[in-house]
Chains A and B, each alone.
With several copies, the nearest count.
Chain A
């Protein structure tokens, strides 16, 4: 865990308003757990947290949507320039538990799940992806390249089913009542995944986003509430997460 300057070796534009920077990261790449993130200097006062989207040999990827000043700044970086990152940071997803496993990704929550699929080629994976529209439904071909056939949906029906990815998950549980879930996406999606998996009595790990200061647990900016009556009022996304076992945040019962 340290701050390093990594050289950009490739710049991809996988979809409108999305950029994937591939950087040379010998020392880092081997040690990364899917779900961990990098804290990336992006021209402003604060760094920007970005998940690792893939590892290819000594290279790693960061795939992001351009939403504001920081991601716009990063999107302008060229091959040969360096990016200043801290990492690897945080707690990633555990290895696949026995039985069927669904990767449930929403929008820019998809990249860490692709890295997961890449890391665990022999797991019994189903992939369920959702996004607001066609252009935001990223990495579908990457998953197909691994021989997986992701279930797809969009809010506006412009690709895959119309609806939420949690709808796909509900259906999936009908066929895989013994399944587990690794999910990443916006908070409302994660709440619903928590509800569904708790209702099914099945384990789930959830990857959260929160606005960050330090990225290393020092500033207490990035908190999400712990389960009522649980050990702690707040958990830090940067060090306690970003991936949490459902129970940590939602308790043992059905949320």
Chain B
């Protein structure tokens, strides 16, 4: 028998049985998929974004299919942190799977209050600060596009969380490295990337944007090259582990992210098409690792990084 590849993944101090987590917003609060997925086999679960109060979200339609992709405009509908703790956390805790709670807010204070409230609860491995949601107080400017605002919000969460804080990066900016650096200096334990790309489709019949919310977030295989690029850059330039995502459907796709520098990966949109997408990736990962000459997940992480050459030295983009 050939030796089984070691799938253990490490994101800072958090150890995962395998590197495959459910991406926030695509796996609900856990129970929804339980009859389709062997939950206990997952590397971890990032639940839907949780705010200090319930958010209503956007008008439907909220999803629209695009070539190799999906536009969504859920609008971060969520029941608020109290309802989450009361209704959802007990189930999640009982699963015994690494649990990451995605945190959203309109203001620094709202983020802080979610984090403070969750600090009193056990069974949460890490918080994932979603800084790509609209910051309404700042006139639509987004935390994830402004290093100084990102620093503030991450520091507020780090100060109160009492557990590792991951920061989820927006790809819709030219300042992703500055924002990542701000998150690091504010005390983040890891970065996750990428959130969706802002996109839009037109409903030709109705002569208006197809999504009720107007524009929406583009996910799925279409955005994989953008995700791989961000993970590659961020993992080389910021001294933090990175959780990579965007368009992962297969073990090969996961391996691409690992080699680009991700310490673990998340699977989102693919679960809609195949509810067992995550466990398939986990099942196929040992063979994929072997095929490309890796004995473990750890060996693959960053394997595509140049040895000693930095991105500055790379040629012009195109």
Chain A positions within 8 Å of B, measured between CB atoms, are: 1-3, 41, 44-47, 86, 210-224, 233-234, 239
B26 to A, closest residue via Cβ = A219
**A219: contacting residue among B63, B64, B68, B221, CB under 8 A:** B63
The residues of B that contact A86 with a CB separation of less than 8 Å are: 36, 275
Chain A residues with CB below 8 A from B291, complex form:
none
Cβ–Cβ < 8 Å partners of B57 in chain A: 220, 223, 233-234
Residues of B within 8 A of A45 (CB): 65-66, 68-70, 220-221, 269, 272-273
The distance in angstroms between the C-alpha atoms of A198 and B272, with both chains bound, is 37
Q: Are A213 and B28 in contact (CB under 8 A)?
A: no
Q: Decide yes or no: A216 and B273 within 8 Å by CB, A221-B74, A223-B62 being known contacts.
A: no
Per the 8 Å Cβ criterion, residues 1-36 of B in contact with A are 25-28, 32-33, 35-36
Residues A47 and B72 in contact in the complex (CB < 8 Å), given A221-B62, A223-B57:
no
Are A46 and B273 in contact (CB-based, < 8 A)?
yes
Complex CA gap A221/B70 in Å reads: 12
Shortest Cβ distance from A48 into B: residue: B65
**CB pairs A–B below 8 angstroms (7 shown):** A45-B66, A46-B273, A86-B36, A216-B32, A219-B74, A233-B56, A234-B57
Partner of B77, one of A2, A44, A46, A234: A234
Cβ A219 vs Cβ B72 within 8 A: yes
Instruction: State in angstroms the CA–CA spacing of A118 and B65 once bound together.
Output: 34
Are the CB atoms of B272 and A211 closer together than 8 Å? no
Question: Shortest beta-carbon distance, A204 to chain B, in Å?
Answer: 21
In the complex, the answer to whether B60 meets A218 with C-beta atoms within 8 Å is no
Whether B276 is near chain A, meaning CB under 8 Å from some CB there, is yes
| Cα-based distance from A239 to B61 in the complex (angstroms) | 16
* In the complex, chain B residues whose CB is within 8 Å of the CB of A218: 26-28, 32-33
A41 to B217, CA, bound (A): 22
Chain B interface main SS type: loop
Q: Bound complex: CA of A44 vs CA of B222, how far in Å?
A: 12
| Minimum Cβ distance to chain B for residue A17 (Å) | 16
Q: Report the bound CA distance from A233 to B65 in whole Å.
A: 25
Nearest neighbor of B275 in chain A, beta-carbon distance: A3
Which residue on B lies nearest to A210, using beta carbons? Answer: B60
When distances are taken between beta carbons in the complex, the residues of chain B under 8 Å from A41 are 273-274
Other than the given A47-B272, A222-B60, 13 more pairs (CB < 8 A) read: A1-B36, A45-B66, A45-B69, A213-B26, A213-B70, A213-B272, A215-B272, A216-B28, A216-B33, A220-B48, A222-B63, A223-B57, A233-B57
Residues of chain A with a CB closer than 8 A to B32's CB: 214, 216-218, 239
Chain A nearest Cβ from B291, distance in angstroms: 14
What is the interface size of chain B, counting residues whose CB is below 8 A from a CB of the partner? 33
CB of B271 closer than 8 Å to a CB of A: yes
CB–CB A46/B33 < 8 A: no
Residue of B nearest to A233 (CB): B56
Cα distance, A213 to B69, chains bound together (Å): 12
Q: Chain B 199-243, CB within 8 Å of chain A: the 1/0 string?
A: 000000000000000000000110000000000000000000000
* Chain A residues positioned under 8 Å from B68 (CB to CB): 45
Cα-based distance from A233 to B25 in the complex (angstroms): 19
Contact with A along B238-282 (1 / 0, CB 8 A): 000000000000000000000000000000010111111000000
Query: A45-B272, A46-B273, A219-B74 in contact; A211/B28 too (CB < 8 A)?
Result: no
Please, how many angstroms separate the alpha-carbon atoms of A50 and B58 in the complex?
A: 25
Interface string of B115-129 (1 = CB under 8 A from A): 000000000000000
Nearest neighbor of B219 in chain A, beta-carbon distance: A45
> Is the CB–CB distance between A222 and B62 below 8 Å?
yes
Which of A2, A45, A212, A234 is packed against the most chain B CB atoms within 10 Å? Answer: A45
Instruction: List B contacts of A215 (CB < 8 A).
Output: 272
Tell whether A2 pairs with B60 under 8 Å between CB atoms, given A213-B72, A214-B271, A219-B272.
no
Q: How far apart sit A67 and B220, CA to CA, in the bound complex (Å)?
A: 23
Cβ-defined contact, B62 with A214, below 8 A: no
Q: Chain A residues with Cβ under 8 A from B35's Cβ?
A: 1-2
A222 to B57, CA, bound (A): 12
**Cα(A204)–Cα(B220), bound, Å:** 39
Which B residues lie within 8 Å of A223 (CB)? 57, 60, 62, 77
In Å, the complex CA distance between A47 and B63 comes to: 12
